[in-house]
Structure 1
Amino acid sequence: MLLVVDVLSFATTVDVTTAAGAHVLPLPYRDDRAGDAASAAGAVLAGDRGGGGYSLSPTSLVSAPAGTLVGLPSPNGATLCSEAAGLGAVVFTGCLRNAAAVAAAAGSAAHNGPVGVIAAGERHTDGSPRFAAEDLLGAGAIISALPVPASARSVEANLAARAYETSDDPARNVRECVSGRELAEWGYRADVELALARNASSTAPRLHAGVFSHH
């Protein structure tokens, strides 16, 4: 059982898309195979932010028509979800918007088995990994809501949970972290604000046959 957390923005985008009754096919980022995979699945391939169509921007998919299958590439969340599914894992994706719902659904599906929570992180412009404060907080929010006592959690899980629980203002922390500031500077402040609506969603996106749908 794996929960992939990518607050800005893959998991938030999957949340709003599946809440609208649409579905998401996670795809590798900047990979020629993504287009072929989307075509083979009958999916609408999301483009770059600002292109006018569907994209990794959650605001572009809030009103996606029910039943639409969106092929959504992303360098972190989508890639991790695809790889985890390829290993046969049960995969959910979560964010601040649906932390409680995802924790409840995953806790039930785990049947008292282990649950791994992956903070997807970000990437520098050269492609190297970058720590993402928003994903630490998102992971902490989900871990805090899982029906697992602190004594049964790993040190890393407890540290993430404490980071969330002791944050004086998680929304401000996300707005002012590197990823939040970048999106705002690029003109996507609305995406950040959408991601900050803690537990506003009851959607728990689960991967079935390579596609995320509302669980």
Structure 2
Amino acid sequence: MTDAQRRPLLQIIVASTRPGRVGEPIARWFGDYAREYEAFDVEIVDLADVALPMFAEPEHPRFARYTLDSTKAFSATIARADAFAIVFPEYNHSYNAALKNALDHLNQEWARKPVALVSYGGVAAGARAAEALIPVLVGLQMVVAGTVPIPFAGQRVSGEGEARTFEPAPETEAGAKAALDGLGSWLEILGLRGAR
């Protein structure tokens, strides 16, 4: 397969690191949905598995002169992606600390790449968290290509442990399709289709 034929890599980032988090089955659902969409290769990046320490690099991330093995490994992971979908909760009217820490660890690895926001929470569906997150992503030179707000997400998860599944409402599926359409459009605009 040539570079021109290779599908872009979409990384789905599970932002919550809490035990029993709703984000994990949502991310698996979104990953399956993106695979069926057939425009992307899909990889799930779980911040609970990445286990970054609180940011402690001596130099600004824009220089990419990392000293910690954890940062070097995370940099290599994020750098290979062409686009992202971030699955994140709303905590206290904002997004969670593990996500901010992950974003702050890197700079150029995020830049000039499109991102879809898959937010979840109660009645607000993570909307306030998304509003807080967007300026950070813009500061990292990312392009927000779509949003998928999920209200009362916990009520749509069933099962136990690794077998937990998320059953989206029709509106959520429509939002996922629109977000994937947006990611594809921005990849074309940015000239990143098949760029890996």
TM-score by length of 2: 0.33
